[in-house]
């Protein structure tokens, strides 16, 4: 249909000549005008902006319901431009060969409210192009809209799975819990249509993808022939595409189940290992006459790291040096001391409203850490 628009633009006349059909049109326009000569009568006429096609795709005005698809000059036409005599109110139509610039000038003047002297040739051409494009869009959708929508809806989800290219990387899918191949929508086709090497660009990308500024639904208004050909081919192979996607999904599901089994087994192993460590720690605490809960007394990063190291040594019943024992007892004693006034005030400032008299310094420190985390 783009070729049709170019034909209309190329053949639209700016003035009528002395050819057969031009002479007939002049005569008919004068006969339907107040003026009795063409030079004056032509200014009584303007294009209304109504355009229709001879096919069944575009609606036409009520007065033209029985129109014989002929220009006012009696020549058979495909594209109908409605014209109106503003003096008599008579409406008729002309073809693309006879839509004259002065008719369009008046239409643009009325639509935009600007002086005729400001209307350029480019504005006239754009007016004609817009009206014809709109008419063709309407015609196409009226004739093919239901079929196209059904076909497109049937393949759009598969298209976004099939018409993609692999980047060569894998990305971790948080929902699935496994790494999957990274793919991106194929925006440019490769190979020769109809041959095994053909890789079509995404139909969704070309038609109505929100990230495509040149999506045909927004530019042309209806799909071009290449998109339609690709969609028909894709539909013809839809069972093959479904099997391909199903195979991919089954492979991913196997990996997901394998990952879930691994996580469950790891959870069991970690629980057993934790029990073993706890048993070793209890045994080590008895050996050194230390309470198990003493290893939870760290109130800063250094103390926590030190206690972690001591826990490893105690579990292995490795002898502690006098300095290590002294540091350990200092941490324990500080934890069990009464909290400082500064600690209590800070705890209150963080919103704590419970009692503090029975709390130890270490317990207050842990409450402070907890409240700070909650505020983040």
- How far lies 176's CA from each of 164, 166, 242, 249, 268, in Å? 20, 19, 21, 11, 21
Over residues 345-376, the pLDDT tens digits come to 888 888 888 888 888 888 888 888 888 888 76
Give the pLDDT confidence score for residue 121 in this predicted structure: 79
Other Cβ atoms less than 10 A from the Cβ of 135: the count is 24
Q: Is the pTM of this model over 0.95?
A: no
Q: List the one residue out of 316, 304, 332, 309 whose CA is nearest residue 277.
A: 316
Q: Between helices 225-236 and 121-162, what is the axis angle to 10°?
A: 20
Q: List the one residue out of 251, 9, 273, 241 whose CA is nearest residue 124.
A: 9
> Is pLDDT of 165 > 60?
yes
Contact yes or no for 238/155 (Cβ under 8 A): yes
Share of the chain above pLDDT 70, in %: 94
Q: List the one residue out of 215, 193, 196, 204 whose CA is nearest residue 152.
A: 204
Give the pLDDT confidence score for residue 202 in this predicted structure: 97
Contact yes or no for 135/216 (Cβ under 8 A): no
Other Cβ atoms less than 10 A from the Cβ of 204: the count is 20
The residue that leads in pLDDT, 252 or 294, is 252
Contact yes or no for 292/285 (Cβ under 8 A): yes
Q: How confident is the model at residue 1 (pLDDT cuts 50, 70, 90)?
A: very low
> Is pLDDT of 33 > 50?
yes
Q: What is the mean pLDDT of the chain?
A: 85
Return the structure tokens found at 221: 């208004």
Over residues 66-122, the pLDDT tens digits come to 888 899 999 888 888 899 999 999 999 998 778 876 788 788 888 888 887 788 878
Give the pLDDT confidence score for residue 92 in this predicted structure: 93
Give the pLDDT confidence score for residue 216 in this predicted structure: 95
Mean pLDDT within 137-151? 87
Those residues with Cβ within 8 angstroms of residue 351's Cβ, 6 or more apart along the chain or in another chain:
371
Q: Tell me phi and psi for residue 3, to 5 degrees.
A: -65, -35
34-37 own/partner pairs: CB under 8 Å, 24+ apart: 34/87, 34/88
Which has the minimum average pLDDT: 21-30, 62-71, 171-180?
171-180
Which has the minimum average pLDDT: 8-12, 97-101, 251-255, 372-376?
8-12
Q: Between helices 121-162 and 101-112, what is the axis angle to 10°?
A: 80
> Is pLDDT of 146 > 90?
yes
d(CA 179, CA 259): 10
Which has the minimum average pLDDT: 96-110, 232-246, 277-291, 361-375?
96-110
């Amino acid at each position: 249909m783009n070729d049709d628009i170019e034909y209309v633009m190329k053949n639209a006349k700016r003035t009528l000549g002395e050819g057969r059909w031009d002479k007939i049109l002049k005569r008919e326009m004068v006969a339907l005008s107040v003026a009795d000569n063409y030079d004056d009568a032509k200014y009584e006429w303007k294009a209304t902006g109504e355009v229709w096609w001879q096919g069944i795709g575009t609606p036409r005005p009520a007065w033209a319901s029985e129109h014989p698809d002929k220009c006012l000059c009696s020549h058979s036409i495909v594209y109908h431009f409605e014209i109106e005599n503003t003096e008599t109110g008579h409406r008729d139509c002309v073809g693309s060969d006879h839509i004259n610039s002065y008719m369009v000038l008046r239409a643009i003047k009325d639509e935009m409210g600007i002086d005729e002297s400001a209307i350029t040739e480019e504005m006239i051409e754009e007016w004609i192009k817009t009206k014809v494009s709109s008419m063709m869009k309407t015609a196409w959708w009226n004739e093919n809209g239901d079929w196209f929508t059904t076909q497109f809806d049937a393949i759009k989800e598969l298209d976004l799975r099939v018409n993609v290219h692999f980047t060569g990387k894998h990305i971790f899918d948080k929902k699935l819990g496994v790494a999957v191949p990274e793919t991106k929508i194929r925006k440019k086709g490769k190979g020769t249509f109809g041959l095994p090497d053909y890789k079509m660009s995404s139909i969704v990308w070309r038609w109505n993808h929100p990230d495509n500024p040149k999506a045909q639904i927004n530019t042309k208004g209806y799909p071009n022939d290449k998109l339609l050909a690709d969609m028909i081919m894709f539909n013809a192979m839809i069972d093959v595409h479904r099997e391909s996607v199903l195979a991919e999904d089954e492979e991913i599901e196997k990996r997901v189940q394998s990952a879930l089994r691994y996580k469950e087994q790891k959870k069991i192993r970690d629980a057993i290992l934790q029990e073993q460590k706890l048993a070793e720690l209890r045994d080590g605490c008895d050996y050194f006459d230390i309470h198990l809960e003493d290893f939870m007394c760290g109130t800063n990063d250094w103390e926590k790291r030190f206690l972690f190291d001591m826990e490893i040594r105690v579990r292995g019943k490795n002898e502690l040096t006098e300095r290590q024992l002294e540091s350990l007892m200092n941490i324990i004693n500080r934890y069990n001391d009464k909290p400082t006034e500064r600690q209590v005030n800070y705890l209150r400032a963080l919103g704590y409203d419970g009692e503090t008299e029975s709390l130890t310094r270490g317990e207050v420190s842990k409450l402070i850490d907890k409240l700070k985390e909650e505020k983040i």
